[in-house]
Amino acid sequence: MSLKHKIIQKLEQHVPEHCIIASNTSALPIKEIASVSKNPELVKDCPGFFTVRCLSPMMSEIIRLLQEGVDPFELDKLTKAYGFPVGAATLSDEVGLDVGEHVSAFLGKALGPRVQGGSSELLSELVKAGHKGRKTDSGIYKYSTVKGKTKKSLPRGSSTSCCFSLVNEALMCLQEDIIASPSDGDIASVFGLGFPPFWGGPFRFVDLYGAQKLVANMERYCDAYKVEQFQPCQLLIDHAKTGKKFYKKN
């Protein structure tokens, strides 16, 4: 935060008043980032915003699967086969396990255990040992090693369990007015998160997959794994009961 404040203050000394100074942030509150600005613009601030908030339950599920002994190569293979451009384990290393640890701790306080699947201590232990991901040459993977041996096959339905937690969080964001419309969420998810484009985004996914089927499968996962990220949000439950769609048929 202090570095961002210094950069903003320095920039404002050299740019005209009409210049827009923007900042990316995974977990740092935008209000705090803008607090040192001479003329901060009012924007809607919320923990994790939309994309980071949706990604967090999915990443939590990935950590839980790894703790069960699932091989990261298999996890990457399955999530890519499902339509994501980058494998789940690789994505964690690319983002940085230290970043993931920070975001998990921040959102865990704000949103509760559904964004902290598995043991959060796993990330802390890896980071403390210097395994922060690709930038340190080791994280979930050790990058000097090209191939690995499969330790344990993925449980049936693991690719959907990762996807379901993301979809559920996206619907919860609409339910809580974090986003204005299903199309906003779908566009952000496909272009910002790499959500499988042939599904059209999490809201289109619900329409195509079926809200009733999704709720039934999530409740099954919830009973089996006892983790909160599989508890269907109220908006999803309502759509399952009524058969309502997010998009009208042409």
Residues 76 and 35 in one domain: no
CA separation (Å) from 179 to 171, 173, 174, 188, 224?
A: 9, 6, 5, 10, 31
Tokens 């566009």 appear where? 187
Residues 19 and 55 in one domain: no
Mean per-residue pLDDT over the chain, rounded:
85
* CA distance linking residue 90 with residue 73, whole number of Å: 9
Instruction: Say if residues 67 and 119 touch (Cβ distance below 8 Å).
Output: yes
Residues 32 and 104 in one domain: no
**Structural domain harbouring 65:** 51-136
* CA distance linking residue 213 with residue 146, whole number of Å: 39
Residues 57 and 29 in one domain: no
Find the angle CA(209)-CA(64)-CA(167) to the nearest 5 degrees: 25
Residues 27 and 56 in one domain: no
Region 229-234 average pLDDT: 92
Domain boundary among 136, 167, 194: 136
Query: Quick one: pLDDT at residue 117?
Result: 61
Residues 31 and 55 in one domain: no
Buried b or exposed e, range 176-194, using 16+ CB within 10 angstroms: eebbeebebbbebbbeebe
Give 115-135 pLDDT, tens digit per residue: 766 666 788 888 999 999 999
Give 127-165 pLDDT, tens digit per residue: 999 999 999 999 999 888 655 554 554 454 556 778 899
Confidence of residue 60 (pLDDT cuts 50, 70, 90): confident
Residues 105 and 58 in one domain: yes
Residues 40 and 57 in one domain: no
* CA distance linking residue 230 with residue 223, whole number of Å: 9
Confidence of residue 239 (pLDDT cuts 50, 70, 90): very high
Asked which of 7-16, 72-81, 103-112, 198-207 is least confident by mean pLDDT, the reply is 103-112
* CA distance linking residue 50 with residue 173, whole number of Å: 7
Query: Quick one: pLDDT at residue 217?
Result: 94
Q: Which burial class, exposed, middle or buried, applies to 223 when counting CB atoms under 10 A from its CB (0-12, 13-18, 19+)?
A: exposed
> Is 195 within a domain?
yes
Q: What is the pTM of this model?
A: 0.81
Q: What is the 3 state secondary structure string of 139-156?
A: CCCECCCCCCCCCCCCCC
Residues 31 and 70 in one domain: no
Tell me the CATH number at 171. Answer: 1.10.1040.50
Residues 56 and 129 in one domain: yes
* Phi, psi angle pair for 142, to nearest 5°: -105, 115
Q: Can you read off the two tokens belonging to residue 181?
A: 């419309």
> Is 247 within a domain?
no
According to DSSP, residue 13 is labeled T
> Is 108 within a domain?
yes
> Is 73 within a domain?
yes
Confidence of residue 215 (pLDDT cuts 50, 70, 90): very high
> Is 3 within a domain?
no
> Is 23 within a domain?
yes
Instruction: Say if residues 93 and 141 touch (Cβ distance below 8 Å).
Output: yes
Confidence of residue 226 (pLDDT cuts 50, 70, 90): confident
> Is 71 within a domain?
yes
Strand, helix or coil at 81? Answer: helix
Which one, of 29, 75, 62, 83, lies nearest residue 200 by Cα? Answer: 83
Residues 84 and 34 in one domain: no
Higher-pLDDT residue of 71, 110:
71
Query: Quick one: pLDDT at residue 118?
Result: 62
Query: Quick one: pLDDT at residue 202?
Result: 97
Q: Is pLDDT at 173 greater than 80 in this prediction?
A: yes
Tell me the CATH number at 129. Answer: 1.10.1040.10
Residues 58 and 105 in one domain: yes
Structurally, how many domains does the chain consist of?
A: 3
Instruction: Say if residues 101 and 124 touch (Cβ distance below 8 Å).
Output: yes
> Is 1 within a domain?
no
* CA distance linking residue 21 with residue 238, whole number of Å: 41
Q: Can you read off the two tokens belonging to residue 204?
A: 């289109």
